[in-house]
Amino acid sequence: MTLEEAIKKFKFHCTYEKNLSSKTLRAYDIDINQFLEKFITYKIEKISKFDLKDYVENLYIYSYKIKTIKRKIAVLKAFFNYLEFEELIDINPFRKLKLSLKEPKLLPKTLELKEIKVILKHLYHLKNNFTNKESFSYKLLVRDIVSIEILFSTGIRVSELSNLKKNEINIKLGVIKIFGKGSKERIIQICDKEVLNLLKEYTKLFNSEKNTNEYFLLNRFNKNFSEQCIRNMLQKYQRELGLKHITPHMFRHSFATLLLEEGVDIRYIQNMLGHASISTTQIYTKVTVKHQRKLLNAKHPRRNFNFSL
């Protein structure tokens, strides 16, 4: 069997038997098609551990990040495991291959509280001084503020925000239902009155009876506000204010870090972020070194000692 034929079978398996999400399937397509380009003339039983070694080496040569390389290898492992399970190959070449790929431990990039305050102050100033509050431009501004407020209030992922449905927000109760990775559901409450009032205003502006779109955040064409559009929106205000590069994920990191600095138990933060493992959340304990220094300078009992002559 050719590699191309085997890949078609694997894609069918991922789509209809494993029932993977469309986003995962797109990622699989990219990685498996890249592998196909390299070995398109090969029969599957002829691909050896040495071919796989060369392929991984090429990924390094093309300067892919370790995280990306690990993902591409994980897809290939799933592919060859499938081939072995279906007895399309006798031996999985990955069984004879030892790979140790260690990612550099980078702390998540966050926004400082004062930076978030600058962004929101700017946006509310634009909103409060908008001359024509019946215009579509005003509606879009309110939507932008709502997007940022939800990012900061809940620590939601940009994909979760973009795909948020109208029926998943109960403004009266201040509750947002989020379906995260692996379709795991979590509930987050919004308690700030200003944010809740903004959500009510947005709902009146966008969610009229004529609007049959199920998504909560909409673009100018009445379609859901896409992940890329949310990123572009943030970069627009970043340029206006002359700030450093801002991404939606930085609000998620800031949400976790600032709550941790306020003494919130890490397990509550884990639950709010939708992390399956506490070890994923624990990275934020390393980010709070700056806050720790402030606390020790201000609160440590040793500060009252003075033995200098």
> Could you list the active site residues?
157, 181, 249, 252, 275, 284
State CA 282 to chain mean position distance: 17
Q: What are the C-alpha distances in Å from 175 to residues 47, 79, 154, 196?
A: 52, 41, 10, 10
Q: Hey, what amino acid is at 94? A: F
Task: Please tell me whether residue 224 adopts helix, strand or coil conformation.
Answer: strand
Task: Please tell me whether residue 275 adopts helix, strand or coil conformation.
Answer: coil
Q: How far apart are CA 148 and CA 235, in angstroms?
A: 12
State CA 299 to chain mean position distance: 36
Count of residues making up the chain? 309
Give, as one character, the DSSP assignment of residue 14.
I
Residue 153 CB neighbours (<10 A): 20
> Most distant CA pair in the chain: distance in Å?
86
